[in-house]
Structure 1
């Protein structure tokens, strides 16, 4: 039985539609399944500043890592795509670091 990730999508001075929320949930599920990670919570915050949208994403994993990233663009989906791309990069590097650290141990004859 797999535990479900707690996802919170909010908007500052901005209404977030159900379509965007389902898009965010789908993209986060794809990224976490890609690297076989077990995220506990995810917080996505959208805001609008003058002519730009800003997306701040925070993902907390069961291993203790908290990945934070942000993206800005003229469209709300584009700014989210920028932040999820950065999140993907952070998780890829974390997974590689864990894999390389685990494989670096060698058995020595004494």
Structure 2
């Protein structure tokens, strides 16, 4: 596994690198023969240390977790524990992930934009002269064909707030999202179209 460990405005020493490398290798190898890569970033926010962990374990399977603590070691341990829990929850389906979505349908490429938040801006700021919002990032992503249960697994593993996917049951686009109460919402326009 290709492992990158870095710090933002903090020095990541050899002892911490050894701890991270050993723990991540143990967690990842427990469920996967050969994880592709992992990135660990330590940062400091005030008196707290934050650790962000991203592991690419297979074809379009990404695990993400983060944690905060008063010291860097516990912040990493907290993030690694979250990843371990998610892996245990989905271990059977992850081992067979190559069978899921084996319908031969290639993912669709979609464009998405990040729009500047207006929360901290004046009423006129954050808009073009024509009133359109300011786009601060323009990227592409893959919209995969997934069963709803697989989409929920990807949302959970990636610690995402929302995920768009193509539903193999009807070929239409669906979206799942994490609600403020912690539950997951599911938007399926095809079901609404059938009821009218």
Flag whether TM exceeds 0.5 (same fold).
yes
Q: What TM-score results when the alignment is normalised by the length of structure 1?
A: 0.80
Q: Which of these two proteins has the greater Rg computed from alpha carbons?
A: 2
Q: RMSD value over aligned CA atoms?
A: 1.8
Q: How far does residue 99 in structure 1 lie from its aligned partner after superposition?
A: 5.8
After superposition, give the CA deviation of every residue in 1:37-56 in whole Å (9 maximum; x if it has no partner): 42101000000010100000
Out of 15, 22, 33, the residue aligned to residue 19 of structure 1 is: 15
- 8 A contact 2:32–2:57 mirrored in 1: no
After superposition, give the CA deviation of every residue in 1:69-89 in whole Å (9 maximum; x if it has no partner): 000000110111000000111
Q: How far does residue 60 in structure 1 lie from its aligned partner after superposition?
A: 0.3
Give 1 or 2: higher helix fraction. 1
Higher RCO structure (Cα 8 Å, ≥6 apart): 1
Aligned length: 98
Aligned partner of 1:51 in structure 2 is: 47
Structure 1 residue runs of 5 or longer lacking an equivalent are 103-110
What is the distance in 2 between the residues matched to 1:97 and 1:91? 10
What is the distance in 2 between the residues matched to 1:57 and 1:91? 14
Task: Please give the secondary structure, in 2, of the residue aligned with 1:39.
Answer: coil
What is the distance in 1 between the residues matched to 2:86 and 2:47? 28
- 8 A contact 1:37–1:61 mirrored in 2: no
Aligned partner of 1:31 in structure 2 is: 27
Aligned partner of 1:77 in structure 2 is: 73
Q: What TM-score results when the alignment is normalised by the length of structure 2?
A: 0.47
Task: Describe the shift of the 1:15–1:35 C-alpha distance in structure 2 as closer, same or farther (beyond 3 A).
Answer: same
What is the distance in 1 between the residues matched to 2:95 and 2:58? 16
